[in-house]
Structure 1
Amino acid sequence: MLSQTTLGIFSQSKTAQLKPKIQIRKANENDIKDIINIVNVTFPATYKDAKTKKPCFSQCDLDRICQDLEKDYRNILFNKLDNHHAIFVACDHEKSVGFAKITKDDKASFLDKLYVLPKFQGHNYGNLLLLACMKKSLFEFDSNQIRLEVWDGNAAGIRYYEKNQFHSTTITHAKITSEGVFKGIEMICEEAPAAYDKLLNYLHFKDSGNVITPVNERKW
């Protein structure tokens, strides 16, 4: 059963003292520096030519991306009345290791960003960030559909979203950088409530309203 109460913190049981503390929370102004650091690490690893392994953009492109993102996120986080965007950070022992951003839209919420540092990938940080964004879309944006854009060369990313009930559409977007042109594929999850429930069950979590907690201990 899905709860329609306010989104709270997702965290591991306090009894799991020997396991890393995983926490998903709403971002604040103090997180911007860490978010930019995550972008600087993850973007070159994600957006690269499948054959040459060369990044699809130069350092100059990356610097511009970070500047634009920092300006955008500062505007969102400093505007306490903004109810059209949400930014979440994933923390391990209070260290920021990933972030996600979702935006309210008329037709479907837009999952604008979801990135986790390579060292922490495969340990459910991305799943929990996606869970937070899904809950935001369902219960605060009142949207049962979520769309996103993924680089067509990011096979792992495409598989990940397909596993979470997103499917590719015929819509593509060309991205022009100093290194050339690469293509983004639009994907959509048309049944976000079902995808949310499925992800909760996979993680062995239950939604009790303000806090989403593990049903039982799970190896992270």
Structure 2
Amino acid sequence: MILWGRPSSVNVQKVLWALSESAVPFDHHIVGGKYGGTDTATFKVMTPVPRVPVLQDGDLTLWESHAILRHLAGGVPPLADQWMEYTTSTLQPAFLQMFYELVRTAPADRTKDAEALKATFLAAVAPLEWQLRKTQWLGGDSFGMADIAAGAMMVRACDLCDPLSPQVARWYEQLQTRPAYRAVVMTSYEELRA
């Protein structure tokens, strides 16, 4: 297996975390962002979009982080799949708006209301609390791909605002006990700061 992508990308972190949890051997080629490489002929053969991550698994090449997570899991139970889709449609877009404005945009160039962006993200986190009152993890009683999909952005989100209602706080503490989470996700993102 070969994973293409820069480790400071939240979407690449999801796949690195999943691979680290499973202990599947893989090679990691750092491309994207300041590292470049997504405009090369080699990369363009793998994906029609110049974004990371891309995973090569034998003859299979996948792009889009959640498609890769589903592949690595060998299928995802419906409850976990639902939360992965929620992450794609609601949680991550709200996070990215906040993150891009407060981290990736220079203070002098910021045009959006930081408090409104934080409020939108906190509203997107609220459904996680609802689920985590009922189950230990997002997909049920066992750690899984839904936790990786949603959990990858929590370190950065907690740096920017306090999204931790009681059960989300419990879940986030559980994530932090996982060695792969600490090694892959709880890392510096200073290279992304404007």
Q: Which has the higher helix share?
A: 2
Q: Which has the higher strand share?
A: 1
| TM-score normalised by structure 1 residue count | 0.30
| TM-score normalised by structure 2 residue count | 0.32
